Amino acid sequence: MEGVAIDTVWVVVAGCLVLFMQAGFAMLEVGLSRMKNAGAVMAKVLVNMCLAFAVFWAIGFAIAFGDGGDFLGSTGWFIELGNPDGVASLAYSAVDENTKWFFQATFAAVTLAIVWGSMLDRVKFGAYAPFAIVFVGLIYPIVVHWQWGGGWLFQHGYQDFAGSGIVHLCGATAAFAGAMVVGPRIGKFRDGRPVPIPGHSMPLAILGVLILWVGWQGFNAGSWLAAVGADLGRVIVVTNLSGVFGVIGATIVARLLLGTLDIGMMGNGAIAGLGAIAGPCAFVAPWAGGVIGLVAGSVMVLVVLGVDRIRVDDPIGAVAGHGGGGIVGVLAPGFLTTPSSAELLGGREGLVYGGGATQLGWQLVALGSIAAFTFVTAWATFAAIDRVIGLRATEDAELQGLDIVEHGMYGYPERFIEVPGATPDDALPELAGAPAGAATRAWEGAS
């Protein structure tokens, strides 16, 4: 019983860390958006987090983890309405069903947050709810069911501990489809060349990266869904080494290719390194975490440049960070899974341990099927939303800013409009709290 309590406390704390990643996304995205859209970014992150929880509660969890076939589950609707014994796919964890749901719901919210990152500054607010219902209710849970729900990928030994493929690649693929459907921001490409539209606050963006980094500890180490007997320490070490080398790799490659010590690339290097280690973190040795991070951070820079080249506008680099990192993280276990962890968690040891190419083959199958399924379904959803209610904000809203047009007020009002009392000025005594009818001022009569 004591063990269950310890497990439960850890999974709740880990879930809270993953929940805190929403603050990371909020800061990262607002930092890389323009001032006129700052309030809209905050509203978007908050509302989408709520939508993700609501939809995952009603239907997402049942499809993802419920008992059923190889492709989707069908028990556990609204959590408690399902089988009172809980879903079979998570029976390996001793914590109760509600705790499992909370932890998994935070993952659904992270995946949805990744999607909208690529579409910053130009999406109509009304598009969020319909997409969240389809994505968190159907697309993401189906991908989850293939692996964590005990579906066909799991049965073939696909290795993805905390979701390099299931969360990061899935989210980034939908982000890529969305950015293509919604189109680039006005002025992003001139004569076919990308124009820099810098975000308004690098301090907020990097604060966001660091908050995400902290949250990632719960994301990866919490995915044991247990504390007693779980190798939390190694997952933590592997995770941080990958994030560290992701930044180092991105910094060096950006310096070599672009000639500058690009701040955004450094931050996205962390995202790539951490996204790449989510899947392999329980399967690989600590040194391998460093290697995976270095590769992911380096690849990420190339993906940013590639996305720009095909004229897709991804303001925060979600496709490169989560997608580039996610691909590295899906493939890495094929090379680097240790024999002991394969024995413990399923699948086969990696190529460098003499395990042969079978595991890498299934990692490739997972990569292709997650990317293809997510791209097609997300594209279709975005296209349908665009056709029916419109995905893109009006040109007027985009130029004036989503803040004032969609939300009626700026995120930073004093930057754009006169606000009573905003400017320190002794010439407005009635606003400074002076007694009514005060006829004289302190400085009156002085020469």
Partner 1 sequence: MKKIEAFIRHEALEGIHNRLAAMGLPSMSVTEVKGSGRQKGFTESYRGARTTIFLRPKLKLEMVVDDVDLERAIDTILEESHTGQPGDGKIFILEVQEAIRVRTGERGPVVLEAHDH
> How near is the Cβ of 37 to partner 1 at its closest, in Å?
17
**Residue position matching structure tokens 């975000």:** 199
User: Judged by CB under 8 A, does residue 59 bind partner 1?
Assistant: no
**Residue position matching structure tokens 């124009």:** 195
Site residues for partner 1, 276-305, by CB under 8 A, read: 301, 304-305
Provide the token pair at 400. 């004036």
- Single residue of 4, 23, 257, 405 touching partner 1 by CB under 8 A: 257
Beta-bridge mates of residue 20: none
User: Judged by CB under 8 A, does residue 187 bind partner 1?
Assistant: no
**CA–CA dist 31, 117 (Å, integer):** 12
C-alpha distances (whole Å) from 34 to each of 41, 174, 399, 410 are 10, 23, 11, 11
**Residue position matching structure tokens 């009304």:** 126
Contacts for 122 with CB less than 8 Å, ≥ 6 apart: 182, 183, 185, 186, 392, 393, 398, 402
- Single residue of 258, 417, 419, 428 touching partner 1 by CB under 8 A: 258
**CA–CA dist 312, 182 (Å, integer):** 10
- Single residue of 259, 408, 435, 437 touching partner 1 by CB under 8 A: 259
Residue 114 or 254: which CB sits closer to partner 1? 254
User: Judged by CB under 8 A, does residue 440 bind partner 1?
Assistant: no
- Single residue of 9, 50, 195, 399 touching partner 1 by CB under 8 A: 195
User: Judged by CB under 8 A, does residue 196 bind partner 1?
Assistant: yes
User: Judged by CB under 8 A, does residue 47 bind partner 1?
Assistant: no
User: Judged by CB under 8 A, does residue 264 bind partner 1?
Assistant: yes
Residue 427 or 436: which CB sits closer to partner 1? 427
> How near is the Cβ of 317 to partner 1 at its closest, in Å?
7
DSSP conformation letters of 135-153: IIIIIHHHHHHHHTTS-HH
- The closest alpha carbon to 59, from 140, 128, 137, belongs to 137
> How near is the Cβ of 254 to partner 1 at its closest, in Å?
8
Provide the token pair at 439. 């006829």
- Dihedral sign, Cα of residue 273, residue 276, residue 282, residue 288: negative
- The closest alpha carbon to 208, from 271, 260, 123, 118, belongs to 271
Site string for partner 1, 303-342 (x = CB under 8 A): -xx--x--------x-------------------------
Among 22-30, 76-84, 193-201, 336-344, which window interacts with partner 1 (CB under 8 A)? 193-201
Residue 90 or 266: which CB sits closer to partner 1? 266
| Number of residues this chain uses to bind partner 1 (CB under 8 A) | 20
**CA–CA dist 28, 33 (Å, integer):** 9
User: Judged by CB under 8 A, does residue 229 bind partner 1?
Assistant: no
> How near is the Cβ of 90 to partner 1 at its closest, in Å?
40
Provide the token pair at 251. 């910094």
User: Judged by CB under 8 A, does residue 262 bind partner 1?
Assistant: yes
Beta-bridge mates of residue 299: none
- Single residue of 51, 153, 254, 312 touching partner 1 by CB under 8 A: 254
Among 142-150, 163-171, 188-196, 368-376, which window interacts with partner 1 (CB under 8 A)? 188-196
- Single residue of 183, 194, 286, 429 touching partner 1 by CB under 8 A: 194
User: Judged by CB under 8 A, does residue 204 bind partner 1?
Assistant: no
- Beta-carbon count within 10 A of 12 CB: 17
> How near is the Cβ of 198 to partner 1 at its closest, in Å?
5
Whether residue 165 contacts residue 365, with contact meaning beta carbons closer than 8 Å, is answered with no
**CA–CA dist 441, 444 (Å, integer):** 5
Binding site for partner 1 (CB under 8 A): 193-198, 254, 257-260, 262, 264-265, 301, 304-305, 308, 317, 447
